[in-house]
């Protein structure tokens, strides 16, 4: 049996290698020659250690204060997936950037691993502002945030109660509350929602009694003939060399999968409620024309106060904007932050 499992694992690995779509300049593991990277740690208000990669332009002038941008990774991912790429590209344009691991993920603290806690995720962004504001080379009055996928909703949640975040941008945003309550395009019924809530509650009883932790959603671990386009889209990033990354000490099969008993907490997460109160701080929403998540950026844009901007990238899907440098509008992001963090 062990040999059979090893054989299947090797087969899956070979399929993943062959299946990686590296078109449109896919470059998740990009390493810039123009910036330096330093791993940093700091505590959030819950006294949990948050870990991030700090990127600084090599031509930084001593004694000068620079604008800074915090970059949050997709839900279930880690800073090495998409966030580091964005952080380096923006650091090349003269910003100090900080790609963070959200609590319970990657190198940041939090037990059990893969726990869902949108309040603590938002707090991690504010804790990153605390850290950056304490650095002598950062202008604490010019700090912005960028959230990719689920982190777009966490960054918005944080910005609503933290005016130190002077400009907010999102890319391929997921409203993690809305998608868990209603599904994509409101395809989930109230009865289906209640079934998910009941399953999570039942799993709490199991785990409290010492039973095995169960995991849910995230990226499928294998593809079949029945796999839908969204599953295939995520698989091509998270399960192939294009974007696959397993944090030290974590089992590969747990990557991207939140715990079943905690994922239900997203049901009580409403990041777009009162989003208009972020105004007059500017907001930028970027989404792919063909992204299954496009509805969330459009809804946030509709509800947000001025100034605001919605940028739709022709021909791009959701995951395309994680790493396809020929599609990602780094020029628009740079202009947005240069304008509003000046």
Q: Are 268 and 322 in contact (CB under 8 A)?
A: no
Dump pLDDT digits (tens) for 177-211: 999 999 999 999 999 999 999 999 999 999 999 99
pTM of the model: 0.94
Nearest to 91 by CA among 83, 103, 81: 83
Q: Are 44 and 123 in contact (CB under 8 A)?
A: yes
pLDDT at residue 16 is higher than 80: no
Sequence ranges of the domains in the chain:
2-340
> Torsions phi, psi of 316, nearest 5?
-95, 145
Dump pLDDT digits (tens) for 71-86: 999 999 999 999 999 9
Beta strands in 172-320 (DSSP E): 283-288, 308-313
Measured CA to CA, the distance from residue 104 to residue 262 in angstroms comes to: 12
Dump pLDDT digits (tens) for 206-254: 999 999 999 999 999 999 999 999 999 999 999 999 999 999 888 888 9
Q: What is the pLDDT of residue 251?
A: 87
Give yes or no for a cis peptide into 112 (omega within 30° of 0): yes
Architecture of domain 2-340: 3-Layer(aba) Sandwich (3.40)
């Amino acid at each position: 049996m062990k040999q059979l499992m090893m054989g299947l694992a090797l087969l899956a690995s070979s399929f993943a290698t062959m299946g990686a779509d590296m078109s449109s300049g896919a470059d998740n593991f990009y390493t810039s020659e123009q910036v330096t990277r330093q791993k940093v740690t700091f505590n959030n208000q819950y006294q949990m250690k948050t870990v991030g990669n700090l990127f600084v332009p090599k031509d930084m002038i001593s004694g000068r204060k620079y604008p800074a941008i915090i970059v949050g990774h997709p839900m279930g991912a880690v800073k090495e997936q998409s966030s580091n790429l964005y952080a380096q590209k923006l650091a090349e344009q003269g910003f100090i950037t900080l790609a963070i691991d959200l609590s319970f993920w990657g190198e940041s603290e939090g037990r059990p691993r893969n726990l869902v806690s949108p309040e603590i995720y938002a707090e991690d962004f504010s804790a990153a502002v605390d850290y950056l504001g304490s650095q002598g080379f950062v202008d604490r009055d010019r700090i912005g945030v960028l959230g990719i996928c689920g982190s777009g909703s966490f960054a918005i949640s944080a910005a609503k109660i933290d005016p130190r975040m002077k400009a907010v941008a999102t890319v391929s945003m997921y409203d993690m509350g809305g998608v868990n309550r209603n599904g994509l395009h409101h395809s989930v019924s109230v009865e289906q929602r209640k079934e998910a809530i009941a399953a999570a509650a039942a799993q709490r009883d199991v785990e409290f009694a010492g039973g095995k932790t169960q995991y849910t959603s995230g990226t499928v671990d294998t593809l079949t003939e029945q796999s839908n386009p969204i599953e295939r889209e995520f698989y091509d990033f998270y399960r192939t060399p294009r974007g696959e990354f397993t944090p030290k000490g974590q089992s590969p099969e747990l990557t991207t999968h939140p715990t079943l008993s905690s994922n239900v907490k997203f049901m009580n997460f409403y990041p777009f409620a009162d989003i208009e109160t972020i105004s007059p701080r500017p907001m930028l929403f970027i989404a792919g024309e063909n992204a299954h998540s496009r509805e969330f950026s459009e809804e946030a844009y509709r509800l947000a106060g001025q100034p605001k901007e919605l940028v739709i990238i022709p021909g791009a899907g959701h995951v395309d904007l994680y790493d396809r440098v020929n599609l990602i509008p780094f020029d628009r992001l740079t202009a947005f932050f240069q304008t509003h963090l000046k």
